[in-house]
Amino acid sequence: MSVCAITGMGVASPIGIGIDDYWTACHAGISGIREIPHFDASRFGCRAAGVVAGLADSGSYRSEWQVHDRVTGLALTAAMDACTVSGINLDQVVGVAVGTGVGGVSTHESECRKWVTGQGRVHPGAILRVMCNAPAAQISSSLKVSGPSLTITTACAASLQAIGEAMLWVRDKRADAVVAGGAEAPLSEPLYAAWDSMRVLSRWKGHPGAACRPFSSDRSGLVLAEAAGFVVLEDDTKARARGATTLGHVIGYATNTSSQHLTAPSVERETEVMRAAIESAGLVPTDIDYVQAHGTGTVANDLAEAQAIRAVFGAHADRLPVSSVKSIIGHSLGAAGVLGLITAILALRHRIAPPTMNLDTPDPAIDLDCVPNHAQPLTRAKHALINAFGFGGSNAALVVSAG
């Protein structure tokens, strides 16, 4: 079996476009969550979201914004940046794997409004913009990929599963190089209203940047976000032969289902998926040096994940840094897993655990080191675990190692 190397990473997020800007904000705890700028959210319980700024002016694909949904523009920006960082010849990319939750919702909203109000004909390309596999299709087209092109739509677990499946392609020699990740642009008013009606959004009334409060005693819900992140995965031997810089390795992956309820978390299933990912990497729990948690900021999910982490790591959890980048980005649904992976790789490379912000009053029921409000050095920085748990019961965990 081949070893799966990460040779490139790209991101378009509320805290920065490109890895350098992303990490600068990430380890400093600078929030990208703000009041929603493009519709009036005053009637909702939460008015905050993670919004990507400056996207239309960045990257070589800005000219294509007029023909794509926002989710595809995010995906193209991050995917092509990852390829640039990797230095790979684009004709060497064999496969594409993308995770997303809801697809092209901004196009769906705008075209429905035209139809309902009689303001114009529905665009003939609307279906191609709305379909969930539009990001994967456009990336594949841009790279002229002829191998597998996969779209996974398992809600918040989607992009971590996409990377896990892509890792298996490389490991099993089905593909030498794969662009894998996820994208989400869920900030349309009707979809936001649907999330608000579920009563899972944060009820925070203070500054928007403090609305997402993972592991805090006063957490009240998640904050939606748009984002995209992609990595280039390659056969390690071939990557080294072409002189690529190895940023890290994907060495373990597991996925399972909490089938007893569509939204309630299962401590048992989350425990099982983390243990399985660690075992698939050939490691034991004490080998893990950092956990990038799912950490959404909801009452039930944070507690369940913390209990599962304690069950997996036992006494090792007393000295294991666990943090959630969602505290400054928000929850980007299908893109959340890949942002967790990118954060974990950067944490290992810089030997710094980024903070969980807004953690002023930790929940006493969560007995973990959640890196409150300030980054802390990693005394060991070899292996990290990333979690992603989605509505519908989809769970995924990934283990990465330093390059």
**Residue 326's domain is classified under what CATH number?**
3.40.47.10
Domain extent, residue 372, equals 250-402
Alpha-carbon distance 335 to 343, whole Å?
13
* Greatest pairwise CA separation for the chain in angstroms: 63
Catalytic residue among 27, 68, 294, 383: 294
Report which secondary-structure segment, H or E, holds 310. Answer: helix 299-313
For residue 165, the model assigns a pLDDT of 98
For residue 4, the model assigns a pLDDT of 98
Q: Residues 290, 185: one domain?
A: no
> Token pair 């995965």 is at which residue?
233
Joined together, the tokens standing for residue 340 give 């967790």
pLDDT in tens, 206-218: 999 999 999 999 9
Indicate the residue among 241, 262, 289 that finishes a domain.
241
Residue among 60, 6, 110 nearest 348 (CA): 6
**Non-local CB neighbours of 187 within 8 Å, separated by 6+ positions:** 36, 38, 49, 51, 106, 224, 226
Q: Residues 236, 258: one domain?
A: no
Alpha-carbon distance 111 to 120, whole Å?
9
Query: Does the structure show a pLDDT above 90 at 85?
Result: yes
Does residue 294 carry a catalytic annotation? yes
Q: Which amino acid is at 214?
A: P
Report which DSSP code applies to 150: E
When computed from its CA atoms, the radius of gyration of the chain, rounded to whole angstroms, is: 20
Does residue 156 carry a catalytic annotation? yes
- Can you point out the beta strands (E) in 40-94? 48-50
Residue among 227, 387, 400 nearest 306 (CA): 387
- Decide which of 57 and 86 is more confident: 86
Catalytic residue among 68, 249, 331, 383: 331
**Non-local CB neighbours of 297 within 8 Å, separated by 6+ positions:** 202, 212, 213, 214, 216, 219, 220, 221, 222, 223, 324, 326, 327, 331
Q: How far is CA 165 from CA 6, 95, 233, in A?
A: 14, 11, 11
Structural domain count of the chain:
2
Alpha-carbon distance 116 to 127, whole Å?
17
Q: Residues 84, 121: one domain?
A: yes
Helices (H) then strands (E): counts for the chain: 12, 15
Signed CA dihedral, 114, 48, 374, 355: sign only: negative
Residue 117: exposure state from Cβ atoms within 10 A (0-12, 13-18, ≥19)? exposed
Q: Residues 339, 229: one domain?
A: no
High-pLDDT (> 70) share of the chain, %: 93
Residue among 400, 371, 402, 374 nearest 387 (CA): 400
Alpha-carbon distance 52 to 55, whole Å?
7
Q: Residues 73, 213: one domain?
A: yes
pLDDT band at 251 (very low <50, low <70, confident <90, very high): very high
Q: Residues 261, 306: one domain?
A: yes
pLDDT band at 61 (very low <50, low <70, confident <90, very high): very low
High-pLDDT (> 90) share of the chain, %: 82
pLDDT band at 60 (very low <50, low <70, confident <90, very high): very low
Q: Residues 265, 218: one domain?
A: no
Q: Residues 80, 207: one domain?
A: yes
Q: How far is CA 81 from CA 53, 75, 90, 159, 166, in A?
A: 17, 10, 12, 17, 18
Taking 3-state DSSP, the helix, strand and coil percentages for the chain, each rounded to the nearest 5, stand at 40, 20, 40
Alpha-carbon distance 354 to 385, whole Å?
14
Least confident of 113-117, 187-191, 337-341: 113-117
Alpha-carbon distance 52 to 228, whole Å?
10
pLDDT band at 110 (very low <50, low <70, confident <90, very high): low
Query: Does the structure show a pLDDT above 70 at 115?
Result: no
Q: Residues 209, 256: one domain?
A: no
Alpha-carbon distance 43 to 260, whole Å?
33
Question: Across-strand partners of 253?
Answer: 398
pLDDT band at 24 (very low <50, low <70, confident <90, very high): very high
Indicate the residue among 241, 264, 299 that finishes a domain.
241
**Non-local CB neighbours of 57 within 8 Å, separated by 6+ positions:** none
Q: Residues 221, 111: one domain?
A: yes
Indicate the residue among 221, 241, 261 that finishes a domain.
241
Catalytic residue among 156, 249, 370, 383: 156
Q: Residues 64, 138: one domain?
A: yes
pLDDT in tens, 287-297: 999 999 999 99
Q: Residues 266, 156: one domain?
A: no
